[in-house]
Chain A
Amino acid sequence: MSGDNEETLTAEETPVDEKEVEEKMISPEKAEEAKLKARYPNLGNKPGGSDLLRKRLQKGQKYFDSGDYNMAKAKIKNKQLPTAAPEKTEITGDHIPTPQDLPQRKPSLVASKLAGQVQFY
């Protein structure tokens, strides 16, 4: 929390009413951050760090090898498949795609609707 806006008070001298003033001066961004941390206490402090970036680099990777698959099956045997977990990390290997989940792989042979439409007016 930034106390630098106050000119005379040091960190030790923060009476109750000073804290109130501080709270009012929290930027909306910091207030949102507090909200997020309250909901996800396990969230790390390095949002732009390698976890987020590596997840981004691996975008789209849903498949894995049979070793992962069997390990995950063993884990899941004892409990239900978790529905959308609150944490934002997806561990490859824990998510088992079923044939129904897999997106269609064939190309869009249907013509784009942008080309097919009669003029709107």
Chain B
Amino acid sequence: MSCAGPGGGSNDVQWCFSQVKGAIDDDVAEADIISTVEFNQSGELLATGDKGGRVVIFQQEQESKNKPQCRGEYNVYSTFQSHEPEFDYLKSLEIEEKINKIRWLPQKNAAHFLLSTNDKTIKLWKISERDKRPEGYNLKEEDGRYVDPNTVTALRVPVFRPMDLMVEASPRRVFANAHTYHINSISVNSDCETYLSADDLRVNLWHLEITDRSFNIVDIKPANMEDLTEVITAAEFHPNQCNTFVYSSSKGTIRMCDMRAAALCDKHAKLFEEPEDPNNRSFFSEIISSISDVKFSHSGRYLMTRDYLSVKIWDLNMETRPVETYQVHEYLRSKLCSLYENDCIFDKFECCWNGNDSVVMTGSYNNFFRMFDRGYQQDVTLEASRENSKPRSVLKPRKVSTGGKRKKDEISVDSLDFNKKILHTAWHPLDNIIAVATTNNLYIFQEKLN
């Protein structure tokens, strides 16, 4: 890949620090580890989920004339406990409250809806605003105490009066008991009525209104578990074809299914798989080919997959190989032994598209994240760190040195901090605003506007 231009990134977009959320101290509690980040369809809301089962939603403030230089900041809008730890006594299994995924529903009215899931249970949350309250009841005081009816001499009509904005989150549906294995994905259908949930071996289809049943549409569990060779790692509905969805596997394949073909979509309509050179096969081949994330482009024309070392773009019309492959951190190939020993080789990185599908982004180690501009064939490595956190300071491209000679400002592979991983990133659907999650902090970067 050619190096990024002086500005870094695509088309000379320069990225500036905007905000960082979360505690500064290095002592990170397990519960504070961010496990998912997602913008809603308008980009006005940004949701995060963490290992403690909590969801925090930020809202972008309206652009003000005072600060034309930046787009609105994101401030806390709502926060709630979505999931709690549970214990499955029958299987002696602890069920983590960690939020694996959050997906927003397209907005239909004043309220916002999102789906959040842990390993076993999906919940539909309604987030609504209340900015007025009724006052002037005849039989109740303002504080709620009941008034003795005998003391009422005149009647008045209660009226609504403005109050301080209150944002309430309430669970509207709980979709439980449909997954034996751990849920890794949820995806809302373009029909806005159904959604899918996928675990290691099965994909289920739900109707948003119906919680007591779901349809199993993919089942790859073998009759004999000894014959198990691959698991489902991610699944997503096509952005505008309501009958189409894809699921990825631990063997690096993606299957596209058409729900019109059969009730059970075990037979794929398309199989995306890049042929492997058998000579290059090693102990690690299958592990690093495992796909950790799959995302349709907004256009629905392309599919992006993330495996341990690369990001691949597939054209839905060509199953034989990806049309583009981007190396995220190829220098790790000669560190696979230690990465296997410290389990980092199993880290599940996500990836995302920008609004017009021209740039893709994914995370790496040392709090680095990478952007690949598909059109300009440029890539850049940036870092989310407190050192680069002066307001509107431009992010400087980072470089990892692979050879013996390390230039100034470069960092050597052996100095990378593998505990600082950026697994979750999100791109605003319309603007150049990105949300990058380090272990316990959420960074928001914006395009530098002149």
What's the Cα separation between A43 and B49 when bound, in Å? 37
> Which B residue's beta carbon lies closest to that of A64?
B92
> Which A residue's beta carbon lies closest to that of B91?
A61
What's the Cα separation between A65 and B90 when bound, in Å? 10
Q: Which B residues are closer than 8 A to A by beta carbons?
A: 19-24, 30-32, 34, 48, 50, 52-54, 56, 76, 79, 81, 84-85, 87, 91-97, 119, 181-182, 200-201, 225-231, 250-251, 279-280, 282-287, 290, 333-337, 340-341, 386, 389-391, 440, 442
Pick the residue among A29, A60, A105, A110 that contacts B282 (CB under 8 A). Answer: A29
- Asked if B227 and A50 make an inter-chain contact with CB atoms under 8 angstroms apart, the answer reads yes
- Asked if A119 and B250 make an inter-chain contact with CB atoms under 8 angstroms apart, the answer reads no
Pick the residue among B85, B93, B94, B279 that contacts A107 (CB under 8 A). Answer: B85
Pick the residue among A2, A47, A64, A112 that contacts B279 (CB under 8 A). Answer: A2
- Asked if A32 and B21 make an inter-chain contact with CB atoms under 8 angstroms apart, the answer reads no
- Asked if B229 and A63 make an inter-chain contact with CB atoms under 8 angstroms apart, the answer reads no
Binds B, one of A7-15, A33-41, A71-79: A33-41
What's the Cα separation between A35 and B280 when bound, in Å? 16
Interface of A is mostly: loop
What's the Cα separation between A120 and B17 when bound, in Å? 11
Q: Is A109 engaged at the interface, CB distance under 8 Å to the other chain? A: yes
Q: Is A81 engaged at the interface, CB distance under 8 Å to the other chain? A: no
What's the Cα separation between A47 and B335 when bound, in Å? 17
Pick the residue among B54, B97, B229 that contacts A112 (CB under 8 A). Answer: B54
Q: A112-B52, A115-B56, A121-B389 are in contact. Are A47 and B286 (CB under 8 A)?
A: yes
Contact residues in B for A28 (Cβ distance below 8 Å): 333-334, 336
Chain A interfacial residues counted at CB < 8 A: 47
- What per-residue 1/0 map shows which CB atoms of A97-110 lie under 8 Å from chain B? 00000010111111
- Asked if B337 and A53 make an inter-chain contact with CB atoms under 8 angstroms apart, the answer reads no
What's the Cα separation between A35 and B337 when bound, in Å? 7
Q: Is A54 engaged at the interface, CB distance under 8 Å to the other chain? A: yes
What's the Cα separation between A118 and B262 when bound, in Å? 53
Contact residues in A for B91 (Cβ distance below 8 Å): 61
- Asked if A57 and B76 make an inter-chain contact with CB atoms under 8 angstroms apart, the answer reads no
Q: Is A82 engaged at the interface, CB distance under 8 Å to the other chain? A: no
B404 to chain A: closest CB distance in Å? 15
Pick the residue among A29, A110, A115 that contacts B333 (CB under 8 A). Answer: A29
Q: Which A residues are closer than 8 A to B by beta carbons?
A: 2, 4, 27-33, 35-37, 39, 43, 45, 47-50, 52-54, 56-57, 59-65, 103, 105-115, 117, 119-121
Q: A50-B225, A108-B53 are in contact. Are A62 and B94 (CB under 8 A)?
A: yes
Contact residues in A for B96 (Cβ distance below 8 Å): 60
What's the Cα separation between A40 and B119 when bound, in Å? 32
What's the Cα separation between A4 and B81 when bound, in Å? 58
A46 to chain B: closest CB distance in Å? 9
Contact residues in B for A49 (Cβ distance below 8 Å): 229
- Asked if B250 and A53 make an inter-chain contact with CB atoms under 8 angstroms apart, the answer reads yes
6 A-B pairs (CB sep. < 8 Å):
A28-B336, A39-B341, A48-B250, A53-B230, A107-B97, A110-B31
- Asked if A63 and B79 make an inter-chain contact with CB atoms under 8 angstroms apart, the answer reads no
What's the Cα separation between A53 and B250 when bound, in Å? 9
B16 to chain A: closest CB distance in Å? 12
What's the Cα separation between A4 and B279 when bound, in Å? 8
B52 to chain A: closest CB distance in Å? 3
- Asked if B225 and A54 make an inter-chain contact with CB atoms under 8 angstroms apart, the answer reads yes
Contact residues in B for A50 (Cβ distance below 8 Å): 225-229
Q: 8 closest pairs, A vs B, by CB?
A: A108-B52, A48-B286, A28-B334, A63-B92, A107-B84, A2-B279, A32-B336, A115-B79
Contact residues in B for A111 (Cβ distance below 8 Å): 54, 79
Given A59-B182, A105-B94, A108-B31, 9 more contacts at CB 8 Å?
Answer: A48-B290, A57-B181, A60-B93, A61-B92, A63-B93, A64-B92, A114-B50, A117-B21, A121-B389
Contact residues in A for B119 (Cβ distance below 8 Å): 60
- Asked if A108 and B227 make an inter-chain contact with CB atoms under 8 angstroms apart, the answer reads no
